[in-house]
Every structure is written in structure tokens, then in C-alpha cells.
Amino acid sequence: MIRLLFFAHLGEQVGERQVTWPHVPETVGKLKEEVEARYSLSLERVMTAVNEEYAHDDAPLQTGDTVAFIPPVSGG
């Protein structure tokens, strides 16, 4: 089980900011494909953070991880 966090427009598209994902895909890239299919959204330009660190698509996942989907940021 992993925890997913959706921010900004993604949170609105998914309808929830936090989701429990029962199964653990091997990599961030595979998780993104599953999430895109489940919610019919694009994560093409979205960065990913695993446990608050930016991660590439080939980064491995394990149970208990928190994965955040981070659209292009606009702070300042």
C-alpha cells in the first residue's frame, strides 16, 4: 500500500487530495501509467516526489511510500 498526494489542478481533477493505493507498482513510471488510466488525466509534465524527494520515472517504490504528483510550480 502506498499513499498518493495530488496538488493544484490534479487534486481538483481527481476529486481528492490524498488517495490510498492498495498495490505497489515496481516504479514511479508504472504508477504514473496506472494513475493516468484510473483518473483519465495526463501526468506528462508533472514531477513526482517519493517521500518528499524528487524522483525519476525509474525510481523503485515500496510499501509505505508517499508519492506526490507535482504539477509545474508557481510560487513566489
Partner 1 sequence: MTESLFSITSEPISVEAVMKKVMRPEAGAVAVFAGTVREWTNGKRTLFLQYEAYVSMAEKMLAQIGAEIAEKWPGTKTAITHRIGRLEIGDIAVVIAVSSPHRAEAYEANRYAIERIKQIVPIWKKEQWEDGSAWIGDQLETKAYPSGKPEVNEP
* Residue (54 or 62) nearer to partner 1, CB: 54
Closest contact distance (angstroms) between CB of 70 and partner 1 is: 5
Closest contact distance (angstroms) between CB of 47 and partner 1 is: 8
CB contact at 8 A, 7 and 68 = yes
Burial-class residue 40 by CB neighbours within 10 Å (0-12, 13-18, 19+).
exposed
* Residue (37 or 73) nearer to partner 1, CB: 73
Q: Which residues bind partner 1 (CB under 8 A)?
A: 5, 7-9, 11-12, 45, 49, 52, 54, 68, 70-76
CA pair distance 39, 5, nearest whole angstrom: 13
* Residue (49 or 59) nearer to partner 1, CB: 49
